Structure 1
Amino acid sequence: MKRIAIIVPTLDEAARLGRTLEAARRAAEHAGLEYELIVPDNGSRDGSQALARRLGARVLDCPGMNIGALRNRGAAASSGDCLAFLDADMEMPPDWLTTWRAVRAEDRAEVLGLLHQAPPEAPWYARAWLQRLAAERDRPALLDWLPTANLCLERAWFERVGGFDERLRSGEDKDLGLRLGQAGARLLSLPRPTVLNWGFEGSWGEWLGKELWRQSSQAQLLRKGRASLRRLRFPLLAAGHWALDALALLGLLLGQPAAALGAFALGWLPAVLLTLRHRYTRQRPLLAVRLTVLHWLRLHVAGIALLMGLVDLNARRPSRG
């Protein structure tokens, strides 16, 4: 490992980008790595490009592209033998790349992602939603895929699988991870060192809109013949969830309140089961209640996203709250 390219796609992220680039630079210097900072910019109008240049980044002007295409352009423009993809709102710890070097030196994995958490000032729903990931990944684990909020891998693996699928509006990170795994790469999630995620949702509208956007690629995968049962488990669960809602509504219309109440109550079961998958929620009842509500809402949003995708309606990523 000689040189790492740190690729940070951005669109109007001036309020957060400086923190991200400074932390990435410190981590590279702490690890003793040659590095390059590359910022593929999607048409920012808030000074993000000028800020990135002042902090030593190379800015690529890439208006109108989706997130997968932005990351691919950054990788293509880089010269590092390793690639690190960051969201523009991630504050990486100083030992981030030292950890990556150790993972490769010990041959523990070919791809690395670290857990991230929201800062204390984030709303409860944003903090709880990230705590669900902490509950799932509270120890080192090899996973099927890792989010590209922070992701390290060698260029050879990235090129072997053809990079990100630029046809996908969202879910491109899951798609990349599954293809890397199929090619033989090991994807390691570590709970520490912890990353601070400053891109938390500032409003309910932003949280719901972001979930709608995240789920919007499922119908695309279905249409392109790349939707395995594993990938479609959650959308199918969401469709069943909406079917129970429809039964509850039908029961009310037919004057059968008991049947309606039963269908409505049954509709909460998937959310409860999704919450109870997280081991430590069983000892934290308030967090369990919060996550159950969030899972219930997410199932509704996923059903809407699946329907929108089937009729070729795009869900846009919401503006910052």
Structure 2
Amino acid sequence: MSVDAPVPAHGAGVTFVMPVLNERDYLERAVQTVLQQDVDGPAELVLALGPSSDGTTELARRLADDDPRIRLVDNPQADIPVALNLAIRSARHPTIVRVDAHSELAPGYTRQAIATLDRVRAANVGGVMRADGQTPFQRAVAIAYNSPVGLGGGAYHGGAPEGPAESAYLGVMRREVLEEVGLFDETIRRGEDWELNLRIRQAGYRVWFDPRLAVTYWPRESWRRLARQFFATGTWRGELVRRFGRQNSLRFFAPPALVLALIASVVLGGVQLTGLVSGIVSAVLSLAHLPLALYVICVLGFSATAGRSLRERGWLVVVLPTMHLAWGVGFLRGLLRGAKDTVDTSRLDRNTPLP
């Protein structure tokens, strides 16, 4: 039986929390979309500042000097769950809105989210992540993000109906529930939102998806950063499978299955080329190439139809396998060895020119 989350008094206020690390090119616009939100009662934005090297910290301080609603807390460890907990602990209001410095809230996002929280008595509500891009590469990544072909069809990547959810993108949360379940687990560097929502659901509270909520997300700007991001994310998903087993969705196992299919196909191809097997045996074993062949056909077909320009189509042919294989290799590493001290190094340096 579900437990109703507490509903704060009308106008009790909202605290937006945002981890920040090397986001100079995105931070100001992200902050603007937060400060433009229409909410009942007081609002504040807490920026948890990691040790940036691109001028982000100086920009954040200037923004805070210009608007008293912005407060700063230091996050020398740089880890996202640590940043979120620091910001939540310093929050002054009972409703917490998580914001990513790489994202932009749609007008009316917070008001709609709070109305949904009140209506369904959920502890956390999230909406749709609408990826977008400024270059052909980034737009190709956005197309992959917005399609089940790219990220496997999680509710917040597509058009799922409103209702209970496994997790929530970013999330608008009741602080009282967060404190009850122990805030974010600081030992988990990626997938921390999924694990938090698992504990929220295990405590009996509702996690809710509302497709009327929309957040614009700006993906990584280069192939190297994308590969690093997905390798780290996959590694931590492998760690989460080690910790929580089948409480993880089956869709998380598709990328590692692709990696294993690729390895099997390469090994079999080598055996066939050396002539160690031939005739009927070789023909039968060739069926092992079928999954990889179907995957290649799917990637080429999707890229040709989903890309809006020749450059986007070309990048999609690169982006999709990069996302899937980097994630899958990371997953297998995390599953076999654990994530240990794996970090998302794509966040550490944003001085590389865009492709």
**Normalization by structure 2: what TM-score?**
0.75
Alignment-derived partner of residue 20 in structure 2: 10
Alignment of 1:1-321 (within 5 A): 1=8, 2-27=12-37, 30-45=38-53, 46=55, 47-54=58-65, 55-56=67-68, 57-107=70-120, 109-119=122-132, 121-122=134-135, 123-132=138-147, 136-148=158-170, 151-197=171-217, 199-223=218-242, 226-231=243-248, 233-234=250-251, 236-255=253-272, 262-267=287-292, 286-287=305-306, 296-309=321-334, 310-311=336-337, 312=340, 314-318=342-346, 319-320=349-350, 321=354
C-alpha RMSD over aligned residues: 3.2
Q: In the alignment, residue 253 of structure 1 is paired with which amino acid?
A: G
The number of residue pairs the alignment matches comes to 307
Going from structure 1 to structure 2, the CA distance change for 1:232 and 1:187 (only over 3 Å counts) comes to closer
3-state DSSP of counterpart to 2:146: helix
**Higher Cα Rg: structure 1 or 2?**
2
Going from structure 1 to structure 2, the CA distance change for 1:250 and 1:313 (only over 3 Å counts) comes to farther
Q: Extract structure 1 runs of 4+ deviating beyond 6 A.
A: 270-273, 288-293
Q: Spell out, residue by residue over 1:45-73, the C-alpha distance to the aligned partner (whole angstroms, 9 max, x if none).
A: 41243234234311111112411111011
3-state DSSP of counterpart to 2:35: helix
**C-alpha distance in 1, partners of 2:332/2:95?**
39
**C-alpha distance in 2, partners of 1:181/1:188?**
10
3-state DSSP of counterpart to 1:8: strand
Q: Return 5+ residue gaps in structure 1 as ranges.
A: 276-280
**C-alpha distance in 2, partners of 1:135/1:107?**
22
Q: In the alignment, residue 88 of structure 1 is paired with which amino acid?
A: A
**Normalization by structure 1: what TM-score?**
0.82
1:299 positional shift:
3.5
Q: Percent identity?
A: 19
3-state DSSP of counterpart to 2:19: coil
3-state DSSP of counterpart to 1:109: coil
| Higher RCO (C-alpha 8 Å, min separation 6) | 2
3-state DSSP of counterpart to 1:39: strand
Going from structure 1 to structure 2, the CA distance change for 1:16 and 1:220 (only over 3 Å counts) comes to same
